[in-house]
Structure 1
Amino acid sequence: MPAYPRASPFSQPHQLCPDLDGSGSPAATQHLPGHPTISLSDSDALSRFLRQELWAADLEAVASRLWILTTPSSASIHALHQQKVLGREIIVTEDPRLHLVWINNRIFIKPLPPYLLSYSFWMSTFPQSPLLTQQWHVRRAAIGFLRTYRYLIQHESDLLIAQQEHLRLVPVKLNWTDMSTFLADLETVEDGDASARYRYGELRLSRLNLYAPFLFGRLAYEHIPMQYGEYFARLYGPILFIFAMVTTILNGMQVALAADPGRQFSNYFLWKIFYWFGISTLLITVTVGSSLMALWFGMIANEWKFTLRNRHRAKG
């Protein structure tokens, strides 16, 4: 595992964004490709911007414990065409915390910014020494993030999906020949070159939220709003299955007791078990129903609390 990543994760002839090579307009070479308001000469602002865009602080802080959530493999990433086969909708996000995080039939993917495709950017912007700690960490995160596209785009069909109008995960001007050559360079990137978060692939949001109190010290990693119907629909299946099983058991008990009424009291112990099981089932049914109603009212109350708090802030 190398201690010092290469200056650039790809070779200059294979770069896909030559904007900083001096061949373009002077204005283009003075600003970050794809971000005309970010000046390359303002190192402090540039560092803050890159950290905001590439550093997933929450996940990096607990990366050593992410093995409890997913397979500890950076290659655990489905290609874009496989995401479609799995029935997942690709949701574009600019938040590095959500890159490759999925829930139900959705997966969040951060677009590949043009500046990470520039050889000159890697050579001139990121430090070549770990002495500059913060920038060095961001550099490793950038390498890890870039490598995820080696797995997301494995075929020309993946590239076409990435270039769809509603996604634009990569620049539309790229062709498959150039892209495949570029991605081939990333095959030599090792886990030691990337930040700790990118030694893992896709992460399930439901598990992140489940372990959020222990990992992040808050109730949820990321709250994804859902309609009431969608939320409760997820509970219907398990609840109906449990009630079907209990109903079957109760019917069996009823048949057993009714098969020979004259012997009901001779099997008093068995009769007592059946009786209290029936009473317990009734109480559990009432409790579950009441809990669902309380949950529904709680969700409404929480929305009103959020609305009134925002209204109070607006007035203040």
Structure 2
Amino acid sequence: MQISPDETVHLLFSEKDQLVLDQADASPSPLVAFDDKNAVLKLITAELSTERLERLYDMLFLVSNRRNISPLHHQLVKGRQTLITERADLHLVWNYDRIFVKPIPLCLLSHAFWQTHLLAPLVAHATVGHHAARPPSAVKVWREAQGFLRTYASLIQHPSDLHLAKTLHLVPNNVDWNTWCRFIDGFAHLKDRQVAPATITGSCA
């Protein structure tokens, strides 16, 4: 899904509402410099890739309703154990009494990261050629990042969900309820066309 050159793209949270302040956390890896744009793009693309799920997207409706993602506390009600996965294509996949959840990469909680590595490539390309299509790789990772965080707007809907998320190390321990609500609010209102297709169903959660 391409972003129209005329479509406005913007960040969904302000700098004051970011959840990480340490510049070291603004890179996907401590071994990669924040300003090494090619290396950062390669890392975050691999981190968020749902390519395998997208190949099955047309069949996902058979096992899941759109946006059918239960909050973390209700996963317990359903008798599911939450297991950590670092694979984006396993995020929210469940099997009987287990559900796999990918922790939020710290860089996605950083305003500087979104501004520099996700938004800037889209904006820069649009200003160079107003009628030119934006780079597919930049569009793909933008939609995957937005879709991934939108799933967390469903997973963490109550203070009890945030407590569980911190216990499971899905989010940083220093995040409080009010701060979380301000950060995630913009992602909660994203339309399906603004996110990667594989993140729409939540992979059967």
Change (3 A) 1:139 1:51: same
Tell me the amino acid that sits aligned with residue 40 of structure 1.
Answer: F
Q: Is the CA contact (8 Å cut-off) linking 1:10 and 1:119 kept in structure 2?
A: yes
Conserved? CA contact 2:60–2:203, under 8 Å: no
Q: Which amino acid aligns with 2:95?
A: I
Q: Measure the CA separation in 2 of the matches of 1:14 and 1:5.
A: 21
How far off its partner does 1:100 sit?
A: 0.3
Q: Determine which of 148, 154, 162 is the counterpart of 1:151.
A: 154
1:51 and 2:52 aligned: no
Matched, 1:187 2:179: no
Name the amino acid aligned to 1:32.
S
Larger relative helix fraction: 1
**Matched residue SS, 1:108:** strand
Question: Which amino acid in 2 is paired with 1:191?
Answer: D
* Equivalence map 1:117-196=2 (5 Å): 117-126=109-118, 127-128=121-122, 129=125, 131-164=134-167, 167-196=168-197
**Distance in 2 of aligned mates of 1:149 and 1:64:** 23
1:86 aligns to 2:81 (yes or no): no
TM-score of the superposition, structure 2-length normalised? 0.84
Please list the CA deviations of residues 202-227 of structure 1 after superposition, one character each: whole Å capped at 9, or x if unmatched: 427xxxxxxxxxxxxxxxxxxxxxxx
Equivalent in 29, 32, 36 of residue 27 of structure 2: 32
The equivalent residue for 2:128 is none
Unaligned runs of 5+ in 1: 21-27, 205-316
In 2, Cα distance between equivalents of 1:61 and 1:45? 26
1-side partners of 2:111 and 2:99: how far apart? 29
Counterparts of 1:81 and 1:150, CA distance in 2: 13
Residue correspondences, number = 190
TM-superposed CA distance for 1:170, in Å, is 0.3
Deviations 1:249-282 (A, max 9, x none): xxxxxxxxxxxxxxxxxxxxxxxxxxxxxxxxxx
CA offsets 1:109-156 (integer angstroms, 9 cap, x no match): 000111111112111101225522112201110100011110000000
Note the C-alpha offset of 1:14: 1.9
| RMSD after superposition | 2.0
Match of residue 261 from structure 1: none
Deviation for aligned residue 1:186 = 2.1
Q: Which has the larger radius of gyration?
A: 1
5 Å-filtered alignment, 1:1-316, equals 3=4, 4=7, 6-20=9-23, 28=24, 32=27, 35-71=29-65, 73-74=66-67, 76-126=68-118, 127-128=121-122, 129=125, 131-164=134-167, 167-203=168-204
Give the 3-state SS of the residue equivalent to 1:39 in structure 2: coil
Change (3 A) 1:90 1:177: same
* Contact 1:9/1:189, CA 8 A, preserved across alignment: no
Q: Which amino acid aligns with 2:164?
A: I
CA contact (8 A) 2:71 2:154 kept: yes
How far the C-alpha of 1:67 sits from its partner, in A, is 1.9
Do the aligned residues in 1 keep the contact of 2:93 with 2:100 (CA within 8 Å)?
A: yes
**Which stretches in structure 2 are left out of the alignment for 5+ residues?**
126-132
Distance 1:196 1:150 in 2: 17
* Contact 2:75–2:81 (CA under 8 A) maintained in structure 1: yes
For residues 12 and 171 of structure 2, the distance between their equivalents in structure 1, rounded to whole angstroms, comes to: 18
Q: Is the 8 A contact 1:64 1:196 kept in 2?
A: no
SS in 1 for 2:30: strand
Does structure 2 retain, via aligned residues, the 8 Å contact 1:69–1:203?
A: yes
State the distance in 2 between where 1:180 and 1:42 align.
31
Task: Select the structure with the greater relative contact order (CA < 8 A; seq sep ≥ 6).
Answer: 2
> 1:196 Cα deviation (Å)?
1.0
Q: CA deviation at 1:50?
A: 0.9
